[in-house]
Amino acid sequence: MTIFEALKNSRTKLSNAGIESASLDASLIMSHVTGLSKVQLITHDTDVLSDETAAKFNELIDRRATGYPVAYILGYKEFWGLKLKVTEDTLIPRPDTEIIVQTAINCKVNGPILDMGTGTGAIILALKSEYRDNVEAYACDISKKALEVASENARNNSLDVNFIESDWFSNLGDMKFSLIVSNPPYIEENDPHLSKTSLPYEPITALTSGVDGLDDIRTICRDALAHLNKGAPLMVEHGYNQGRAVSAIFIENGYKNVETIKDFGGNDRVTIGYMS
């Protein structure tokens, strides 16, 4: 079977399974098993796959057809120009999370910054890649396995970040920061989306937070007050329909100049407020 034939068959299989990104995913998986770039897949499309490579490719396509995330199949995800390792112990970075990165860059802070619940390290690594020596970067997560992945991503991208195992602020002592960011769990416990797309395969503790999905955001907003320098911003990512509720939590805790920022689709995505 040639590369062209294998890709054609796999695209049909993935499309029939309801995978919207069938063509892209098939190409990514083919590149993964052959080591060929996207361009080389075109210029070598008449090459015949070995039986071993064809079998591996078909196995991974079958797995993708079940809904298993292509990022977990490949073992990495691109985010903010960085190649990040991902495992089943971490959430897969989403494009909309780049909104919180851009918002944090726009703040033009100096000094120590903190990413709460870092997962793969996507947000803090993106910020460190932009701020460089202007900030000292810290990130925490309750998951040891997630921190191992984030630390590896930092090394692979030559970025200096201090990782701390901590249940939110519990192990941060009296540390204070010029900026705190977080993409915490914010999905409602019984949200039907949990059974769709890639979410059934991702760590549930990194997805849900109480009946209304806002328990962790309440904790972060409350406890961040003791860890922010005067006038420093806190920003959190949240669901498309949670902007008003999250803004109210910020205001209830005394944050000033509270603002909700929309994502690429025009939905509420990030709320920011400043320590008074």
Three-state secondary structure along 232-248? CEEEEECCCCCHHHHHH
Cα 262 to chain centroid distance, Å, stands at: 17
pLDDT band at 254 (very low <50, low <70, confident <90, very high): very high
CA 221 from chain centre, in angstroms, equals 20
**pLDDT value at residue 276:** 86
pLDDT of 169 strictly over 70: yes
pLDDT score recorded for residue 213: 73
The residue behind tokens 């509270």 is 258
Handedness of CA 57, 63, 144, 223 (dihedral sign): positive
Residue 204 has pLDDT above 70, yes or no: no
Residue 209's φ and ψ, nearest 5 degrees, are -155, 80
Q: Is the pLDDT of residue 198 over 70?
A: no
Chain segment 9-67, per-residue pLDDT in tens: 999 999 999 999 999 999 999 999 999 999 999 999 999 999 999 999 999 999 999 99
CB atoms within 10 A of CB 234: 26
Residue 199 has pLDDT above 80, yes or no: no
Backbone angles phi, psi at 112, to 5 degrees: -70, 140
Q: Could you tell me the CA-to-CA distances from 66 to 7, 24, 193, 200, 208 in Å, in that order?
A: 18, 16, 16, 11, 23
Average pLDDT over the chain, rounded to an integer: 92
Q: Look at 261 and 213; give whichever has higher pLDDT.
A: 261
Helical residues (DSSP H) of 22-162, grouped into ranges: 22-34, 38-43, 51-65, 70-74, 98-106, 122-131, 144-156
